[in-house]
């Protein structure tokens, strides 16, 4: 597996180059603060296609030049270094044109790894489950007495973190961050692969390649991978440093139970970690502990104090005998399928739909047939198309298939359709844009419409501006 542009960024010559930061979302702003503190006299161009938050603009210094407009019209090829925020695809024509002209592309995460080359790192990726697994690993290692830092796509940008006084950094990495990352992780975890973010990557093959880049970057340490994922088995089975979970000899899930080889483990996941897919996340975390020589039994015991992440199969509580589950983080059909399977014995009204990226739902509708909801409600943009796909396959929930134009109407309808003791599950299977600011906004609105109080208690004391992407 070839890793291109593998040389480390030379921090000494960086301030002597013509540098542009692409994207003024959360990571772009953190990168600006980092560079402005480290190189106060450095000239910086701050490039975005829409005007940043006014509060941020007010903080800009004399050496900062804000450039707003379409990337294709901003002359990116005139810069020496493009510091790419995760939301900006390196495959866009304007970025590729700059690369052909000799520009160097780096990312905020690459800068952190260059700044702290001695930091011990555990990097986690996957199409689904990477945030939960990262949080589980960090929680279990802390329970084993280690000092742990948790950062990356999960909430705290790496460049907002120092590199000292920590035994291990647990870093969640999206495909957006991995596409051109320069790093040398000590341990990598790859949970699963299914098609996602094809508009950003350009193809399923490139998306897989960008995700699997994490294995190529992990030169010496173990690559912990899911033994039930066909793509991972095909691509990683020849590597001598691959360590499998969900394989017969290690931590694995079978018949919705957790095993260590042939021994069933007495695991009691918290209420916020339902379903076999969360048992697989626990199996991955325990495999990391074993690789580090930490005690898996301590990790299992620590589940009783694990703080589940918001917007990930999050129970908001009950109202009028109906439980409301907020799975707003769900942005792919495979995530929605996993959410349905997490409630096998409940009558579920499912709310789906969001940004239409052209993903094919057909391969995942067999789960809808098998775990037939009491009703399915589609919301814009692609909810109507998902409902049409179900109609073509004669999927017929007892209370029907429905289309609504807004989340508010969908929740009100769901309250009428869902029987007492049932579940209203928001698991959209698509990104939140353009109907909502982000998945947090979507989840918070769902909670409000449910009539339940919800105050998001994010476990990350981070800048809460634009999310960096969830790929």
Q: Is residue 465 part of a domain?
A: no
One domain for residues 75 and 142: no
Q: Is the pTM of this model over 0.75?
A: yes
Q: pLDDT band for position 459 (50/70/90)?
A: very low
What phi and psi values does residue 35 have, to the nearest 5 degrees?
-70, -40
467 has pLDDT over 70: no
Burial class (CB in 10 A: 0-12, 13-18, 19+), 128: buried
Beta bridge partners of 67: 47
* Average pLDDT estimate for 191-195: 91
Q: How many domains does the chain have?
A: 3
Name every residue whose Cβ is closer than 8 Å to that of residue 75 and which is 6 or more positions away in sequence. none
* Average pLDDT estimate for 313-331: 94
What percent of the chain has pLDDT above 70?
94
Q: Bigger pLDDT: 470 or 55?
A: 55
One domain for residues 281 and 345: no
Residue 6: what pLDDT? Answer: 34
One domain for residues 279 and 413: no
One domain for residues 246 and 359: no
Task: Quote the tokens at residue 43.
Answer: 């000239």
One domain for residues 325 and 389: yes
456 has pLDDT over 60: no
Q: Is residue 458 part of a domain?
A: no
* Average pLDDT estimate for 169-198: 93
| Residue 278: other Cβ atoms inside 10 A | 23
Residue 21: what pLDDT? Answer: 97
* Average pLDDT estimate for 231-246: 96
458 has pLDDT over 90: no
- Say how far apart CA 196 and CA 298 lie, in whole Å: 35
One domain for residues 269 and 379: no
Q: Is the peptide bond before 381 cis (omega within 30 degrees of 0)?
A: yes
470 has pLDDT over 70: no
**Tell me: the pLDDT tens digits for 305-315?**
998 889 999 99
**Tell me: the pLDDT tens digits for 253-305?**
999 999 999 999 999 888 889 999 999 999 999 999 999 999 999 999 999 99
206 has pLDDT over 50: yes
- Of 14-23, 233-242, 429-438, 452-461, least confident by mean pLDDT is 452-461
Q: What is the phi-psi region of residue 23: left when phi exceeds 0, alpha when psi lies from -120 to 50, beta otherwise?
A: left
Q: Is residue 463 part of a domain?
A: no
- Say how far apart CA 324 and CA 407 lie, in whole Å: 14
Residue 348: what pLDDT? Answer: 98
Write the CATH number for 276.
Answer: 3.40.1190.10
One domain for residues 297 and 390: no
Residue 455: what pLDDT? Answer: 60
Q: pLDDT band for position 11 (50/70/90)?
A: confident
Q: Is residue 3 part of a domain?
A: no
Q: Which of 75, 106, 137 is the last residue of a domain?
A: 106
Averaged pLDDT of the chain? 91
One domain for residues 144 and 193: yes
Write the CATH number for 51.
Answer: 3.40.50.720
- Say how far apart CA 137 and CA 132 lie, in whole Å: 9
**Tell me: the pLDDT tens digits for 63-111?**
999 999 999 999 999 999 999 999 899 999 999 999 999 999 999 999 9
36 has pLDDT over 90: yes
* Average pLDDT estimate for 178-199: 92
Q: Is residue 154 part of a domain?
A: yes
Q: pLDDT band for position 372 (50/70/90)?
A: very high
User: 382 lies in which domain range?
Assistant: 314-450
463 has pLDDT over 50: no
One domain for residues 234 and 281: yes
- Of 7-11, 240-244, 276-280, 322-326, least confident by mean pLDDT is 7-11
Residue 462: what pLDDT? Answer: 30
Q: Which of 287, 305, 323 is the last residue of a domain?
A: 305
One domain for residues 356 and 282: no
Q: Taking Cα atoms as reference points, which of 209, 277, 204 lies closest to residue 245? A: 277
Q: What is the bridge-based pairing of β-strands 257-260 and 251-254?
A: antiparallel
> Cβ(170)–Cβ(146) under 8 Å?
no
CA dihedral 339, 345, 348, 351 (to 10 degrees): 10
Name every residue whose Cβ is closer than 8 Å to that of residue 232 and which is 6 or more positions away in sequence. 190, 192, 193, 225, 226
């Amino acid at each position: 597996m070839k890793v291109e542009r593998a040389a480390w960024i030379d921090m000494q010559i960086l301030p002597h180059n013509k540098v542009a930061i692409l994207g003024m979302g959360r990571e772009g702003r953190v990168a600006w603060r980092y560079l402005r503190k480290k190189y106060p006299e450095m000239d910086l161009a701050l490039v975005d296609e829409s005007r940043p938050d006014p509060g941020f603009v007010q903080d800009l210094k004399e050496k900062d030049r804000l450039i707003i407009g379409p990337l294709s019209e901003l002359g990116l090829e005139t810069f020496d270094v493009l510091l790419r925020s995760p939301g900006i695809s390196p495959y866009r024509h304007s970025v590729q044109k700059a690369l052909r002209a000799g520009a160097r592309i780096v990312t905020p995460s690459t800068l952190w790894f260059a700044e702290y080359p001695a930091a011990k790192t555990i990097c986690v990726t996957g199409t689904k489950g990477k945030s939960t697994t990262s949080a589980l690993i960090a929680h279990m290692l802390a329970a084993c007495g280690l000092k742990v830092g948790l950062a990356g796509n999960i909430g705290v940008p790496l460049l907002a973190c120092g590199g000292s006084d920590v035994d291990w950094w647990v870093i969640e990495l999206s495909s957006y961050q991995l596409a051109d990352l320069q790093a040398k992780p000590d341990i990598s975890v790859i949970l699963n692969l299914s098609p996602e973010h094809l508009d950003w990557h350009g193809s399923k093959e490139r998306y897989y390649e960008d995700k699997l880049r994490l294995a190529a970057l992990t030169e010496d340490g173990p690559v912990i991978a899911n033994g039930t994922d066909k793509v991972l088995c095909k691509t990683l089975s020849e590597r001598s440093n691959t360590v499998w979970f969900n394989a017969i000899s290690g931590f694995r899930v079978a018949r919705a139970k957790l095993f260590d080889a042939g021994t069933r483990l007495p695991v009691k996941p918290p209420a916020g970690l339902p379903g076999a897919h969360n048992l697989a996340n626990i199996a991955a975390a325990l495999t990391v502990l074993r690789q580090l020589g930490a005690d898996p039994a301590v990790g299992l015991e620590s589940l009783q104090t694990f703080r589940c992440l918001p917007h990930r199969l999050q129970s908001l509580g009950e109202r009028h005998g109906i439980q409301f589950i907020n799975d707003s983080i769900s942005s792919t059909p495979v995530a929605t399928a996993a959410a349905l399977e997490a409630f096998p014995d409940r009558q579920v009204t499912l709310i789906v739909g969001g940004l239409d990226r052209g993903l094919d739902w057909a391969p995942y509708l067999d789960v809808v047939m098998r775990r037939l909801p009491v009703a399915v409600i589609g919301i814009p943009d692609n909810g109507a198309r998902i409902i049409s796909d179900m109609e073509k396959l004669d999927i017929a929930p007892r209370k029907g298939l429905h289309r609504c134009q807004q989340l508010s109407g969908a929740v009100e309808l769901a309250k009428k359709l869902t029987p007492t003791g049932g579940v209203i599950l928001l698991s959209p299977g698509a990104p939140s844009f353009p109907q909502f600011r982000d998945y947090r906004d979507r989840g918070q609105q769902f909670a409000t419409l449910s009539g339940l109080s919800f105050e998001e208690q994010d476990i990350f004391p981070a800048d809460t501006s634009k999310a960096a992407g969830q790929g």
